[in-house]
Amino acid sequence: MDKPTPKDDEVLVRVRAASVNPYDWHFMRGMPYPLRMQAGLGKPKDPRLGVDLAGQVEAVGSKVTQFRPGDEVFGCARGAFAEYACAADSKVVSKPANVSFEHAASVPIAGLTALQGLRRGGVSDKSKISSGKKVLINGAAGGVGTFAVEIAKSFAAEVTGVCSTKNVDLLRSLGAARVVDYTKEDFTESGPRYDVIFDCVANHTLSAFRRVLHAKGSYIMVGAADGGGRWMIGLLARLMKASVLSRFAGQKLAMIGAKITREDLATLGELMNTGKVTPVIGRRYRLSEVPEGIRYHEQGHARGERWS
């Protein structure tokens, strides 16, 4: 493809690193099927894949005043799996000088999902009420989960992470006060109650989660183990049930997706700059190996984030 030209409100980024997300393989497969209303019914409207990136500004549009050529940035853009990509100036921010391109590129979608999901549950850097809150992160060793552990810890919450045996030490190194190995223990059957359950895999019923959630607690779902299925029927039914229960119970039950904002990207940049968040990179791939990276991620057992 030709080297892209930025629009008036865009920057052209020379991509130095990009990371793989579920977002990428969902668009590649056109699944769940409702996604095709946005992505294209019979074939993709836009064949380019990749969203998260970090790199250097090569050129700027006529209305861009915040950046100039040579600036190091990270954020989101369509077609990040390429040598160059255009990004809206509102969807990239300056990369901290002490953070590598690889680490910065692994942050945007997963980090935004974790940050915004925790805030929805009442765990926030803007309020002292986060201190001492008991937060359980289900699926804590994945891309979103590892960020959620570090971010919740940085907001002074008491974090419990749920993972498989091989990732127990990883979660402890990220700051989890307690780690539950789901191959040996079902946290929904016994144990403490939590102020917030941050669920990345949806592998238990809502009733099971509510058993270990405080009467005024929050259950925030950010993903599903099967990606929602082809038609999202099970996921939609779960969301409808959560909506109904939230109306009649004191517990908040909700699902969120990442919203790309300059302010929240800047918050993630500051967390990396101060060392409170250090992205976990599970595997590395060359640009020519992107298909293998997506294939591995699609299997559903990726540890942390990967970059290309």
pLDDT on residue 73? 98
pLDDT band at 126 (very low <50, low <70, confident <90, very high): confident
pLDDT on residue 100? 98
Query: Does residue 65 lie within any of the structural domains?
Result: yes
pLDDT band at 194 (very low <50, low <70, confident <90, very high): very high
Cα(126)–Cα(128) distance, integer angstroms:
7
Query: Does residue 5 lie within any of the structural domains?
Result: no
Query: Does residue 268 lie within any of the structural domains?
Result: no
101 and 122 together in one domain: no
Short-list 107, 216, 204, 119, CA closest to 162:
204
In the chain, how many domains are there? 2
154 and 248 together in one domain: yes
pLDDT on residue 125? 79
Q: Is 303's pLDDT higher than 90?
A: no
pLDDT band at 233 (very low <50, low <70, confident <90, very high): low
Q: What percent of the chain shows pLDDT beyond 90?
A: 72
78 and 181 together in one domain: no
Query: Does residue 273 lie within any of the structural domains?
Result: no
78 and 208 together in one domain: no
Q: Is 225's pLDDT higher than 80?
A: no
Q: What is the pLDDT of residues 9-18, one digit of tens each?
A: 999 999 999 9
Looking at the chain, list the stretches that DSSP marks H as alpha helix, in order from N- to C-terminal side.
22-29, 36-39, 101-105, 108-120, 143-154, 168-174, 206-211, 233-248, 262-273, 290-298
- Residue pointed to by tokens 């996604």: 35
pLDDT on residue 133? 94
Q: What is the pLDDT of residues 30-74, one digit of tens each?
A: 988 888 988 898 898 988 999 999 999 999 999 999 999 999 999
67 and 99 together in one domain: yes
- Per-residue tokens: 59: 């050129």
More confident site: 77 or 228: 77
Mean pLDDT of 132-141: 96
More confident site: 225 or 136: 136
71 and 119 together in one domain: no
121 and 246 together in one domain: yes
Query: Does residue 264 lie within any of the structural domains?
Result: no
- Per-residue tokens: 92: 């990239």
Short-list 230, 50, 223, 86, CA closest to 147:
223
pLDDT band at 301 (very low <50, low <70, confident <90, very high): low
Q: Is 155's pLDDT higher than 60?
A: yes
Q: Is 308's pLDDT higher than 60?
A: no
* CATH value at residue 45: 3.90.180.10
Mean pLDDT of the chain: 91
pLDDT on residue 141? 95
Query: Does residue 266 lie within any of the structural domains?
Result: no
Query: Does residue 210 lie within any of the structural domains?
Result: yes
Cα(254)–Cα(247) distance, integer angstroms:
11
Q: What is the pLDDT of residues 89-118, one digit of tens each?
A: 999 999 999 999 999 999 999 999 999 999
250 and 294 together in one domain: no
36 and 166 together in one domain: no
Q: Is 219's pLDDT higher than 90?
A: yes
Q: Is 246's pLDDT higher than 50?
A: yes
Mean pLDDT of 217-234: 77
pLDDT on residue 306? 44
Residue-range definition of the domain harbouring residue 191: 110-255
pTM recorded for the entire structure: 0.92
115 and 250 together in one domain: yes
Short-list 189, 188, 198, 201, CA closest to 235:
201
292 and 222 together in one domain: no
Q: Is 44 exposed, middle or buried (0-12, 13-18, 19+ CB in 10 A)?
A: middle
Query: Does residue 270 lie within any of the structural domains?
Result: no
156 and 34 together in one domain: no
* CATH value at residue 183: 3.40.50.720
